[in-house]
Structure 1
Amino acid sequence: MASEQFLGSELRIGPVPMRGRAVLAPMSGISDVAFRRIAARFGAGLVVTEMVAAAAYVARADEARLRSEGQGIQPHVVQLVGRNPRAMGAAARLAEASGAEIIDINFGCPAKKVTGGLCGSALMREPDLALAIVETVVAAVSVPVTVKMRLGWDDASRNAVVLASAAAAAGAQAVTVHGRTRQQFYSGRADWDAIGEVAAALALPVIANGDVVCAETARACLARSGAAAVMIGRAAVGQPWIVGEVAAALAGRPFAPPSWAERAGVALEHYEAMLTLYGTEMGVRHARKHLAAYADRATEAGFGLAETDRRTLLTTTEPGLVACLLRRLYAEPARLAA
């Protein structure tokens, strides 16, 4: 199995070394450069941009450029989405010229706005076109190309093994598989055994995605799937250090979780970086989903804000007030104050 092949050696994507066997997933609207930078600092093996629309990126659209930002991150991995091979190749060349060290191709996004445009996981229903995209992108760049996919469009058309094998033959250097079909979205349980079928078929790193939330589930996923690494998505929202924590556990290294004061500092750092990236007006709006996640994680741990303060945290347009509330969020465990 793939995990046995890659255990005991430094895991690489082509010539690019990974710093650990836990990867931060690309998440649309979530994986901004500030979030990725923090996760990388805490030891994530790789961090991947949110998906960047190839056509918009080639047209130099501001939103696509911001999504592809990777300053302060190494290695820099840019994920591209699209269905036009020529546009995907052009976008890959532009990303490489802008500093990308790995190009990832999105065949996995289940969102209706993406599949409605016959992109993302919809391309698993068009394997010939998907393969043409891989071939074009591989030919366009000198950096490694990877592919992220699902098990298939639905249970009647699980073709991950076939598509992953074809992508590998076309020059892909690694494959990430989310253990659900597109029609499942995020319901049910990820099928790690099905990911194992892909890992068994390939002689390159397979990264398992789906339902990995901690070191225990990461170990179980690797044991069941035979994958070389795991990818963590939703579990990292509101706690970007968790990817590094899992990577350290898989490597047998100690990891000191951030203190509550440090977590407040991380949340504030993330918020302020988003204001810098997007500008205050847009940054305030983009940051709200992250602020909600930090608040939810703190509440789960017994901290928290009064409901009125939480509402203010998520609605105010005053950065100074957000900073004050974030410090208060982690200042006093609610269970001790009660």
Structure 2
Amino acid sequence: MRTMNKRKETIKTAEHDTECIRQAEIMPLNSWEWLHITIEVTAKTAFLFILPQYNISVPTADSETVHYHYGPKDLVTILFYIFITIILHAVVQEYILDKISKRLHLSKVKHSKFNESGQLVVFHFTSVIWCFYVVVTEGYLTNPRSLWEDYPHVHLPFQVKFFYLCQLAYWLHALPELYFQKVRKEEIPRQLQYICLYLVHIAGAYLLNLSRLGLILLLLQYSTEFLFHTARLFYFADENNEKLFSAWAAVFGVTRLFILTLAVLAIGFGLARMENQAFDPEKGNFNTLFCRLCVLLLVCAAQAWLMWRFIHSQLRHWREYWNEQSAKRRVPATPRLPARLIKRESGYHENGVVKAENGTSPRTKKLKSP
């Protein structure tokens, strides 16, 4: 009987162990199934944040290529990259700019300008390389007619659309950074001016399907801004180093001329000769006389405003320089006083008494009595 009971107990324990093993095998399978389901569900929403939306397959001579157009879902993608840009901004500030500024021992005013220029140098350098790569690979430099031919440019390549989304995300992230960086109240209006200026031009080129022209203009503008902020960084490191400012001043005027020329050539002449001149927002066509005049007026007004600020700042710097030079000339030179000749009696002094050369004291002259 005892042996039978032992056999039953061993059979029960074996069955229990096998059930535990089966459950242990089933649990990972169930967890993987749940994980697979959640990944499938969250992947759709994750792609909405990470990747550009509204993709379309466009047939070509060899095969099909994927292009994109814009829509309301782009706001979600821009929001995601705003948070990414804020994180990258904090990394550059903490690990690069703060370490350099501690060595320079700058004042509060120069410290805030140093941080501003340091962030913009990193951004403009990255944007110039990225924009130049996009322009070269898409063939916009080798074929200037592509800036206005086949308008409207509704279907964008992946790299073009992603570039515009990242640009909008960066300049939108600059608005809350004014609070995070504790920018002085005197500097906020100036920074808001150029932030809004960039947002209007980039969003206008993106929404009006002038993305090709916008890329060329951004490449020119970012190259000039990179040179300017680099010159500021070198000036903060050594105040005597102003050679880069002279180079920037020469490049600045040439850049304004190129931007105005390209805008007038592409919009005023190129789009004006296109056959398809009708206002059709559904097809993305804004090639009308009124729209062209508004775009040209905006570009010309922005360039004129930048040029006026540049001339005003240059005149102010020259005035300060000449005032310093004239102040130095007005200061009279202190005349040198001639050295007084001190007559010394012959011999040498010893205990306050003049001794002759042979050691005897000289005879005093007798005064005749009157």
**TM-score (norm. length: structure 1):** 0.27
Q: Structure 1 or 2: larger helix share?
A: 2
Larger radius of gyration: 2
Higher relative contact order (CA 8 A, sep 6+): 1
